[in-house]
Structure 1
Protein backbone atom coordinates (compact mmCIF):
# COMPACT_ATOMS: atom_id res chain seq x y z
CA UNK A 1 0.00 0.00 0.00
CA UNK A 2 1.51 3.28 -1.08
CA UNK A 3 0.24 5.45 1.72
CA UNK A 4 2.20 7.05 4.56
CA UNK A 5 2.10 4.72 7.51
CA UNK A 6 0.70 7.23 9.97
CA UNK A 7 3.98 8.25 11.59
CA UNK A 8 2.41 11.55 12.70
CA UNK A 9 -0.24 9.81 14.79
CA UNK A 10 0.16 9.94 18.60
CA UNK A 11 0.88 6.64 20.35
CA UNK A 12 -2.18 6.92 22.59
CA UNK A 13 -4.47 6.62 19.54
CA UNK A 14 -3.72 2.90 19.16
CA UNK A 15 -5.35 1.77 22.45
CA UNK A 16 -8.20 4.24 21.91
CA UNK A 17 -8.77 2.77 18.45
CA UNK A 18 -8.92 -0.81 19.66
CA UNK A 19 -11.22 0.07 22.56
CA UNK A 20 -13.60 1.87 20.23
CA UNK A 21 -13.52 -0.97 17.69
CA UNK A 22 -14.28 -3.50 20.44
CA UNK A 23 -17.12 -1.32 21.72
CA UNK A 24 -18.46 -1.03 18.18
CA UNK A 25 -18.54 -4.79 17.66
CA UNK A 26 -20.22 -5.24 21.05
CA UNK A 27 -22.81 -2.60 20.11
CA UNK A 28 -23.49 -4.38 16.82
CA UNK A 29 -24.11 -7.60 18.74
CA UNK A 30 -26.39 -5.92 21.30
CA UNK A 31 -28.58 -4.22 18.69
CA UNK A 32 -28.78 -7.40 16.61
CA UNK A 33 -29.70 -9.42 19.69
CA UNK A 34 -32.41 -6.96 20.66
CA UNK A 35 -33.95 -7.13 17.19
CA UNK A 36 -33.60 -10.80 16.36
CA UNK A 37 -33.51 -12.54 19.75
CA UNK A 38 -35.98 -10.35 21.65
CA UNK A 39 -38.35 -10.11 18.69
CA UNK A 40 -38.20 -6.34 18.16
CA UNK A 41 -38.41 -6.68 14.39
CA UNK A 42 -39.01 -3.81 11.97
CA UNK A 43 -41.20 -3.53 8.92
CA UNK A 44 -38.32 -4.67 6.71
CA UNK A 45 -34.99 -6.45 7.04
CA UNK A 46 -33.27 -3.52 5.35
CA UNK A 47 -34.36 -1.19 8.15
CA UNK A 48 -33.10 -3.63 10.76
CA UNK A 49 -29.74 -3.82 9.02
CA UNK A 50 -29.46 -0.02 9.04
CA UNK A 51 -29.66 0.04 12.82
CA UNK A 52 -27.29 -2.90 13.22
CA UNK A 53 -24.70 -1.36 10.89
CA UNK A 54 -25.02 2.04 12.56
CA UNK A 55 -22.93 0.62 15.39
CA UNK A 56 -20.09 -0.14 12.96
CA UNK A 57 -19.22 3.56 12.95
CA UNK A 58 -21.17 5.16 15.82
CA UNK A 59 -19.92 2.50 18.19
CA UNK A 60 -21.52 2.67 21.66
CA UNK A 61 -23.24 5.93 20.68
CA UNK A 62 -25.48 3.87 18.40
CA UNK A 63 -27.13 2.28 21.44
CA UNK A 64 -28.93 5.39 22.78
CA UNK A 65 -29.87 6.42 19.22
CA UNK A 66 -31.37 2.99 18.60
CA UNK A 67 -33.22 2.91 21.92
CA UNK A 68 -34.72 6.35 21.34
CA UNK A 69 -35.46 6.26 17.62
CA UNK A 70 -35.18 2.74 16.29
CA UNK A 71 -36.41 0.26 18.87
CA UNK A 72 -39.79 -1.33 18.24
CA UNK A 73 -42.20 -3.09 20.55
CA UNK A 74 -42.14 -6.86 20.89
CA UNK A 75 -45.39 -6.86 18.92
CA UNK A 76 -43.44 -5.87 15.79
CA UNK A 77 -45.07 -2.43 15.62
CA UNK A 78 -42.23 -0.65 13.86
CA UNK A 79 -41.48 2.91 14.80
CA UNK A 80 -41.67 5.31 11.86
CA UNK A 81 -39.09 8.07 12.31
CA UNK A 82 -41.20 10.40 10.18
CA UNK A 83 -43.38 10.82 13.26
CA UNK A 84 -40.44 12.08 15.27
CA UNK A 85 -40.54 15.45 16.99
CA UNK A 86 -39.00 17.43 14.16
CA UNK A 87 -37.93 17.36 10.54
CA UNK A 88 -34.34 17.64 11.72
CA UNK A 89 -34.70 14.46 13.79
CA UNK A 90 -36.27 12.64 10.85
CA UNK A 91 -33.43 13.69 8.54
CA UNK A 92 -30.87 12.67 11.14
CA UNK A 93 -32.37 9.18 11.17
CA UNK A 94 -32.64 9.12 7.37
CA UNK A 95 -28.91 9.78 7.02
CA UNK A 96 -28.06 6.54 8.86
CA UNK A 97 -28.57 4.23 5.84
CA UNK A 98 -25.83 6.14 4.02
CA UNK A 99 -23.53 5.70 6.98
CA UNK A 100 -24.23 1.98 7.13
CA UNK A 101 -23.66 1.57 3.40
CA UNK A 102 -20.36 3.45 3.66
CA UNK A 103 -19.19 1.40 6.64
CA UNK A 104 -19.96 -1.94 4.99
CA UNK A 105 -18.44 -0.73 1.71
CA UNK A 106 -15.20 0.03 3.57
CA UNK A 107 -15.10 -3.50 4.99
CA UNK A 108 -15.44 -4.96 1.48
CA UNK A 109 -13.56 -2.51 -0.74
CA UNK A 110 -10.43 -1.85 1.33
CA UNK A 111 -9.32 -5.50 1.67
CA UNK A 112 -10.20 -6.11 -1.99
CA UNK A 113 -8.13 -3.19 -3.29
CA UNK A 114 -5.17 -4.21 -1.13
CA UNK A 115 -5.47 -7.87 -2.16
CA UNK A 116 -5.43 -7.14 -5.89
CA UNK A 117 -2.82 -4.40 -5.60
CA UNK A 118 -4.97 -1.86 -7.41
CA UNK A 119 -3.47 1.63 -7.60
CA UNK A 120 -4.21 4.88 -9.42
CA UNK A 121 -1.37 7.39 -9.84
CA UNK A 122 0.72 5.07 -7.68
CA UNK A 123 -1.70 5.24 -4.75
CA UNK A 124 -4.23 2.72 -3.49
CA UNK A 125 -6.29 5.43 -1.80
CA UNK A 126 -7.98 6.51 -5.04
CA UNK A 127 -9.26 3.05 -6.05
CA UNK A 128 -10.42 2.56 -2.45
CA UNK A 129 -12.45 5.75 -2.67
CA UNK A 130 -13.89 4.70 -6.04
CA UNK A 131 -14.75 1.17 -4.96
CA UNK A 132 -16.31 2.36 -1.70
CA UNK A 133 -18.45 4.91 -3.56
CA UNK A 134 -19.71 2.36 -6.11
CA UNK A 135 -20.56 -0.21 -3.44
CA UNK A 136 -22.21 2.37 -1.20
CA UNK A 137 -24.38 3.66 -4.05
CA UNK A 138 -25.47 0.13 -4.95
CA UNK A 139 -26.33 -0.81 -1.38
CA UNK A 140 -28.07 2.47 -0.62
CA UNK A 141 -30.15 2.26 -3.81
CA UNK A 142 -31.28 -1.25 -2.84
CA UNK A 143 -32.19 0.02 0.61
CA UNK A 144 -34.16 3.01 -0.73
CA UNK A 145 -36.08 0.79 -3.15
CA UNK A 146 -36.82 -1.96 -0.63
CA UNK A 147 -37.63 0.30 2.32
CA UNK A 148 -39.99 2.47 0.27
CA UNK A 149 -42.01 -0.61 -0.68
CA UNK A 150 -42.12 -2.19 2.79
CA UNK A 151 -45.61 -2.33 4.24
CA UNK A 152 -47.27 -0.98 1.09
CA UNK A 153 -50.14 -2.54 -0.77
CA UNK A 154 -49.19 -4.38 -3.99
CA UNK A 155 -50.62 -1.54 -6.07
CA UNK A 156 -48.30 0.96 -4.36
CA UNK A 157 -44.88 0.66 -5.95
CA UNK A 158 -42.83 2.92 -3.71
CA UNK A 159 -39.74 4.50 -5.23
CA UNK A 160 -38.85 3.67 -8.80
CA UNK A 161 -35.43 2.19 -9.47
CA UNK A 162 -34.34 5.47 -11.04
CA UNK A 163 -35.47 7.53 -8.05
CA UNK A 164 -33.72 5.16 -5.65
CA UNK A 165 -30.46 5.31 -7.61
CA UNK A 166 -30.64 9.10 -7.88
CA UNK A 167 -31.19 9.45 -4.13
CA UNK A 168 -28.29 7.10 -3.50
CA UNK A 169 -25.94 8.99 -5.83
CA UNK A 170 -26.79 12.39 -4.32
CA UNK A 171 -26.39 11.04 -0.80
CA UNK A 172 -23.06 9.32 -1.45
CA UNK A 173 -21.62 12.36 -3.23
CA UNK A 174 -22.56 14.50 -0.22
CA UNK A 175 -21.11 11.87 2.12
CA UNK A 176 -17.87 11.79 0.15
CA UNK A 177 -17.33 15.50 0.64
CA UNK A 178 -16.69 14.66 4.26
CA UNK A 179 -15.31 11.15 3.93
CA UNK A 180 -12.88 11.83 1.09
CA UNK A 181 -11.94 15.17 2.60
CA UNK A 182 -11.07 13.38 5.84
CA UNK A 183 -8.96 10.79 4.01
CA UNK A 184 -7.08 13.54 2.16
CA UNK A 185 -6.37 15.37 5.40
CA UNK A 186 -4.95 12.16 6.88
CA UNK A 187 -2.93 11.38 3.77
CA UNK A 188 -1.32 14.77 3.29
CA UNK A 189 -0.53 15.11 6.99
CA UNK A 190 1.20 11.72 7.15
CA UNK A 191 -1.53 10.38 9.41
CA UNK A 192 -2.88 7.53 7.27
CA UNK A 193 -1.94 4.20 8.90
CA UNK A 194 -1.59 0.86 7.14
CA UNK A 195 -4.86 -1.02 6.67
CA UNK A 196 -3.56 -3.71 9.01
CA UNK A 197 -3.55 -1.25 11.91
CA UNK A 198 -6.50 -0.75 14.22
CA UNK A 199 -5.98 2.99 13.95
CA UNK A 200 -6.78 2.83 10.22
CA UNK A 201 -10.21 1.34 10.84
CA UNK A 202 -10.89 3.69 13.74
CA UNK A 203 -10.03 6.68 11.58
CA UNK A 204 -12.31 5.34 8.86
CA UNK A 205 -15.09 5.15 11.45
CA UNK A 206 -14.43 8.80 12.22
CA UNK A 207 -14.52 9.50 8.49
CA UNK A 208 -17.96 7.93 8.15
CA UNK A 209 -19.20 10.15 10.98
CA UNK A 210 -17.76 13.18 9.19
CA UNK A 211 -19.63 11.95 6.12
CA UNK A 212 -22.86 11.93 8.12
CA UNK A 213 -22.38 15.63 8.80
CA UNK A 214 -21.81 16.58 5.16
CA UNK A 215 -24.48 14.16 3.95
CA UNK A 216 -27.16 15.49 6.29
CA UNK A 217 -28.08 18.62 4.26
CA UNK A 218 -28.45 16.55 1.07
CA UNK A 219 -30.66 13.99 2.79
CA UNK A 220 -32.79 16.74 4.34
CA UNK A 221 -33.11 18.42 0.93
CA UNK A 222 -34.13 15.19 -0.78
CA UNK A 223 -36.77 14.55 1.86
CA UNK A 224 -38.24 18.05 1.56
CA UNK A 225 -38.14 18.03 -2.24
CA UNK A 226 -39.65 14.69 -3.14
CA UNK A 227 -39.19 12.47 -0.09
CA UNK A 228 -36.96 10.15 -2.07
CA UNK A 229 -34.99 9.23 1.04
CA UNK A 230 -36.61 6.69 3.32
CA UNK A 231 -35.82 6.98 7.05
CA UNK A 232 -34.44 3.92 8.82
Structure 2
Protein backbone atom coordinates (compact mmCIF):
# COMPACT_ATOMS: atom_id res chain seq x y z
CA UNK A 1 0.00 0.00 0.00
CA UNK A 2 1.48 3.32 -1.06
CA UNK A 3 1.39 6.17 1.49
CA UNK A 4 -1.05 8.98 0.83
CA UNK A 5 1.65 11.64 0.85
CA UNK A 6 3.40 9.91 -2.06
CA UNK A 7 0.25 10.03 -4.19
CA UNK A 8 -0.24 13.71 -3.31
CA UNK A 9 3.38 14.49 -4.20
CA UNK A 10 2.96 12.62 -7.47
CA UNK A 11 -0.07 14.71 -8.45
CA UNK A 12 1.71 17.96 -7.55
CA UNK A 13 4.80 17.03 -9.57
CA UNK A 14 2.74 15.98 -12.58
CA UNK A 15 0.73 19.21 -12.35
CA UNK A 16 3.93 21.28 -12.36
CA UNK A 17 5.02 19.44 -15.48
CA UNK A 18 1.70 20.20 -17.19
CA UNK A 19 1.94 23.91 -16.27
CA UNK A 20 5.48 24.01 -17.69
CA UNK A 21 4.19 22.31 -20.84
CA UNK A 22 1.45 24.93 -21.23
CA UNK A 23 3.95 27.80 -20.82
CA UNK A 24 6.10 26.55 -23.70
CA UNK A 25 3.04 25.58 -25.75
CA UNK A 26 1.66 29.12 -25.49
CA UNK A 27 5.04 30.67 -26.26
CA UNK A 28 5.47 28.46 -29.31
CA UNK A 29 2.05 28.60 -30.92
CA UNK A 30 0.32 31.66 -29.47
CA UNK A 31 3.31 34.01 -29.44
CA UNK A 32 4.74 32.52 -32.62
CA UNK A 33 8.18 31.40 -31.47
CA UNK A 34 8.25 28.46 -33.87
CA UNK A 35 11.32 26.28 -34.17
CA UNK A 36 13.20 26.21 -37.51
CA UNK A 37 13.18 22.42 -37.19
CA UNK A 38 9.57 21.55 -36.35
CA UNK A 39 10.51 18.36 -34.49
CA UNK A 40 12.26 20.55 -31.92
CA UNK A 41 8.87 21.91 -30.92
CA UNK A 42 7.95 18.39 -29.84
CA UNK A 43 11.34 18.00 -28.16
CA UNK A 44 10.94 21.07 -25.97
CA UNK A 45 7.33 20.34 -25.09
CA UNK A 46 8.24 16.83 -23.99
CA UNK A 47 11.31 18.05 -22.09
CA UNK A 48 9.44 20.62 -20.01
CA UNK A 49 6.69 18.10 -19.35
CA UNK A 50 9.01 15.81 -17.38
CA UNK A 51 11.77 18.18 -16.20
CA UNK A 52 9.42 21.05 -15.30
CA UNK A 53 10.44 24.66 -14.53
CA UNK A 54 14.16 23.95 -14.89
CA UNK A 55 13.56 22.91 -18.49
CA UNK A 56 11.47 26.04 -19.06
CA UNK A 57 14.54 28.04 -18.06
CA UNK A 58 16.72 25.96 -20.40
CA UNK A 59 14.20 26.58 -23.17
CA UNK A 60 14.23 30.33 -22.51
CA UNK A 61 18.02 30.45 -22.51
CA UNK A 62 18.88 28.13 -25.38
CA UNK A 63 15.78 26.60 -26.97
CA UNK A 64 13.62 29.62 -27.71
CA UNK A 65 14.24 30.90 -31.26
CA UNK A 66 15.84 34.32 -31.23
CA UNK A 67 18.96 36.33 -32.06
CA UNK A 68 21.63 34.64 -29.98
CA UNK A 69 25.12 33.47 -30.76
CA UNK A 70 25.44 29.68 -30.71
CA UNK A 71 27.59 28.30 -27.90
CA UNK A 72 28.71 24.90 -26.68
CA UNK A 73 26.36 24.76 -23.71
CA UNK A 74 23.37 25.53 -25.93
CA UNK A 75 24.34 22.71 -28.29
CA UNK A 76 24.69 20.28 -25.38
CA UNK A 77 21.32 21.33 -23.93
CA UNK A 78 19.70 20.79 -27.32
CA UNK A 79 21.36 17.40 -27.79
CA UNK A 80 20.38 16.12 -24.35
CA UNK A 81 16.85 17.49 -24.68
CA UNK A 82 16.41 15.85 -28.04
CA UNK A 83 17.67 12.43 -26.94
CA UNK A 84 15.70 12.80 -23.71
CA UNK A 85 12.52 13.47 -25.67
CA UNK A 86 13.07 10.24 -27.61
CA UNK A 87 13.47 8.35 -24.33
CA UNK A 88 10.49 10.02 -22.66
CA UNK A 89 8.19 9.35 -25.61
CA UNK A 90 9.53 5.80 -25.85
CA UNK A 91 8.83 5.28 -22.16
CA UNK A 92 5.27 6.59 -22.44
CA UNK A 93 4.38 4.67 -25.62
CA UNK A 94 5.97 1.39 -24.55
CA UNK A 95 4.56 1.44 -21.02
CA UNK A 96 1.05 2.13 -22.27
CA UNK A 97 1.37 -0.54 -24.97
CA UNK A 98 2.63 -3.11 -22.45
CA UNK A 99 0.08 -2.17 -19.80
CA UNK A 100 -1.95 -5.32 -20.39
CA UNK A 101 0.98 -7.53 -19.46
CA UNK A 102 0.97 -8.29 -15.75
CA UNK A 103 4.75 -8.43 -15.40
CA UNK A 104 6.43 -9.47 -12.17
CA UNK A 105 9.52 -7.57 -10.96
CA UNK A 106 11.69 -10.35 -12.43
CA UNK A 107 10.32 -9.60 -15.90
CA UNK A 108 10.73 -5.84 -15.87
CA UNK A 109 13.45 -6.27 -18.50
CA UNK A 110 10.63 -6.76 -21.02
CA UNK A 111 9.38 -3.27 -20.19
CA UNK A 112 12.89 -1.90 -20.43
CA UNK A 113 13.54 -3.54 -23.79
CA UNK A 114 10.31 -2.06 -25.11
CA UNK A 115 11.21 1.39 -23.77
CA UNK A 116 14.66 1.30 -25.36
CA UNK A 117 13.55 0.01 -28.75
CA UNK A 118 10.74 2.57 -28.88
CA UNK A 119 13.15 5.39 -27.98
CA UNK A 120 15.48 4.42 -30.83
CA UNK A 121 12.54 4.07 -33.21
CA UNK A 122 11.28 7.54 -32.33
CA UNK A 123 14.80 8.95 -32.80
CA UNK A 124 14.89 7.49 -36.32
CA UNK A 125 11.41 8.84 -37.09
CA UNK A 126 12.43 12.32 -35.93
CA UNK A 127 15.46 12.24 -38.23
CA UNK A 128 13.34 10.86 -41.07
CA UNK A 129 10.70 13.57 -40.86
CA UNK A 130 13.32 16.31 -40.74
CA UNK A 131 14.35 15.52 -44.30
CA UNK A 132 12.57 16.69 -47.46
CA UNK A 133 12.13 13.15 -48.77
CA UNK A 134 10.95 9.95 -47.11
CA UNK A 135 12.09 6.74 -48.74
CA UNK A 136 13.81 3.47 -47.86
CA UNK A 137 17.15 5.12 -48.55
CA UNK A 138 16.25 8.01 -46.27
CA UNK A 139 15.28 5.57 -43.51
CA UNK A 140 18.73 3.98 -43.60
CA UNK A 141 20.31 7.43 -43.61
CA UNK A 142 18.24 8.43 -40.58
CA UNK A 143 19.20 5.21 -38.79
CA UNK A 144 22.91 5.77 -39.47
CA UNK A 145 22.64 9.33 -38.16
CA UNK A 146 20.97 8.16 -34.96
CA UNK A 147 23.62 5.47 -34.40
CA UNK A 148 26.46 7.92 -35.01
CA UNK A 149 25.05 10.99 -33.27
CA UNK A 150 22.50 9.99 -30.64
CA UNK A 151 22.75 6.32 -29.70
CA UNK A 152 25.36 6.78 -26.96
CA UNK A 153 23.39 9.60 -25.33
CA UNK A 154 20.12 7.67 -25.62
CA UNK A 155 21.71 4.54 -24.15
CA UNK A 156 23.22 6.44 -21.22
CA UNK A 157 19.88 8.12 -20.57
CA UNK A 158 18.04 4.79 -20.68
CA UNK A 159 20.48 3.02 -18.35
CA UNK A 160 20.02 5.71 -15.69
CA UNK A 161 16.24 5.52 -16.17
CA UNK A 162 16.18 1.73 -15.82
CA UNK A 163 18.40 1.71 -12.73
CA UNK A 164 16.11 4.22 -11.06
CA UNK A 165 12.94 2.35 -12.08
CA UNK A 166 14.32 -0.92 -10.72
CA UNK A 167 15.17 0.69 -7.39
CA UNK A 168 11.81 2.46 -7.22
CA UNK A 169 9.84 -0.70 -7.99
CA UNK A 170 11.49 -2.47 -5.05
CA UNK A 171 11.40 0.49 -2.64
CA UNK A 172 7.88 1.72 -3.37
CA UNK A 173 5.87 -1.32 -4.39
CA UNK A 174 7.79 -4.36 -3.19
CA UNK A 175 6.65 -7.56 -4.86
CA UNK A 176 3.94 -5.86 -6.94
CA UNK A 177 5.40 -3.57 -9.65
CA UNK A 178 4.05 -0.10 -10.20
CA UNK A 179 1.45 0.15 -12.94
CA UNK A 180 0.66 2.94 -15.46
CA UNK A 181 -2.82 3.41 -13.98
CA UNK A 182 -1.24 5.02 -10.89
CA UNK A 183 -0.02 8.63 -10.65
CA UNK A 184 2.87 7.31 -8.57
CA UNK A 185 4.05 5.28 -11.57
CA UNK A 186 4.30 8.41 -13.72
CA UNK A 187 5.90 10.37 -10.89
CA UNK A 188 8.53 7.67 -10.49
CA UNK A 189 8.99 7.68 -14.26
CA UNK A 190 9.33 11.45 -14.21
CA UNK A 191 12.12 11.24 -11.63
CA UNK A 192 13.80 8.51 -13.67
CA UNK A 193 13.67 10.64 -16.80
CA UNK A 194 15.23 13.55 -14.90
CA UNK A 195 17.97 11.18 -13.71
CA UNK A 196 18.48 10.12 -17.31
CA UNK A 197 18.67 13.74 -18.43
CA UNK A 198 21.45 14.43 -15.92
CA UNK A 199 23.31 11.18 -16.68
CA UNK A 200 23.19 11.78 -20.44
CA UNK A 201 24.85 15.20 -20.16
CA UNK A 202 28.48 13.91 -20.08
CA UNK A 203 27.84 11.55 -22.99
CA UNK A 204 26.39 14.36 -25.11
CA UNK A 205 29.27 16.64 -24.16
CA UNK A 206 31.79 13.98 -25.16
CA UNK A 207 30.13 13.39 -28.53
CA UNK A 208 29.95 17.08 -29.29
CA UNK A 209 33.54 17.54 -28.20
CA UNK A 210 34.60 14.91 -30.72
CA UNK A 211 32.64 16.65 -33.43
CA UNK A 212 30.19 13.80 -33.83
CA UNK A 213 26.99 15.67 -32.98
CA UNK A 214 24.91 17.21 -35.72
CA UNK A 215 23.31 20.55 -34.93
CA UNK A 216 19.61 19.93 -34.22
CA UNK A 217 18.47 23.44 -34.96
- State the TM bucket, normalised to the shorter chain: 0.7 to 0.9
Which of 35, 46, 51 matches 2:39? 46
Deviation, structure 1 residue 119 = 4.5
Q: Provide the residue aligned with 1:133 in structure 2.
A: 116
Residues 118 and 93 of structure 1: is their aligned pair in 2 closer, same or farther, counting only changes over 3 Å?
Answer: same
> How far apart, CA to CA, are the structure 2 residues paired with 1:207 and 1:218?
17
Q: Residues 65-108 of structure 1: CA distance to partner in whole angstroms, max 9, x if unpaired?
A: 211221224xxx6x67xx13xx3453133201121112112221
CA contact (8 A) 1:120 1:126 kept: no
> How far apart, CA to CA, are the structure 1 residues paired with 2:196 and 2:162?
8
> How far apart, CA to CA, are the structure 2 residues paired with 1:104 and 1:215?
16
Structure 2, gaps ≥5 residues long: 133-137
Please state whether the residue corresponding to 2:98 is helix, strand or coil: helix
CA contact (8 A) 2:87 2:158 kept: no
> How far apart, CA to CA, are the structure 1 residues paired with 2:65 and 2:161?
31
> How far apart, CA to CA, are the structure 2 residues paired with 1:184 and 1:15?
22
Q: Provide the residue aligned with 2:151 in structure 1.
A: 169
> How far apart, CA to CA, are the structure 2 residues paired with 1:141 and 1:107?
17
Residue 14 of structure 2 is aligned to residue 21 of structure 1: yes
Which of 43, 59, 65 matches 1:66? 59
Residues 231 and 183 of structure 1: is their aligned pair in 2 closer, same or farther, counting only changes over 3 Å?
Answer: same
> How far apart, CA to CA, are the structure 1 residues paired with 2:64 and 2:189?
27
Q: Provide the residue aligned with 1:221 in structure 2.
A: 206
CA contact (8 A) 2:10 2:187 kept: yes
> How far apart, CA to CA, are the structure 2 residues paired with 1:187 and 1:205?
14
CA contact (8 A) 2:75 2:215 kept: no
Of 64-73 and 103-112, deviating more is 64-73
Q: Residues 2-35 of structure 1: CA distance to partner in whole angstroms, max 9, x if unpaired?
A: xxxxx4x553221111011112122212211211
Structure 1, gaps ≥5 residues long: 1-6, 151-156
Please state whether the residue corresponding to 1:96 is helix, strand or coil: helix
Q: Hey, which of these two has a bigger chunk of helix by percent?
A: 2
Q: Provide the residue aligned with 1:201 in structure 2.
A: 186
Please state whether the residue corresponding to 2:52 is helix, strand or coil: helix
Higher relative contact order (CA 8 A, sep 6+): 1
Give the count of matched residue pairs: 207
Q: Provide the residue aligned with 1:3 in structure 2.
A: none
Please state whether the residue corresponding to 2:150 is helix, strand or coil: helix
> How far apart, CA to CA, are the structure 1 residues paired with 2:7 and 2:183?
7
Residues 202 and 18 of structure 1: is their aligned pair in 2 closer, same or farther, counting only changes over 3 Å?
Answer: same
Q: Provide the residue aligned with 2:171 in structure 1.
A: 189
> Alignment RMSD, CA only?
2.7
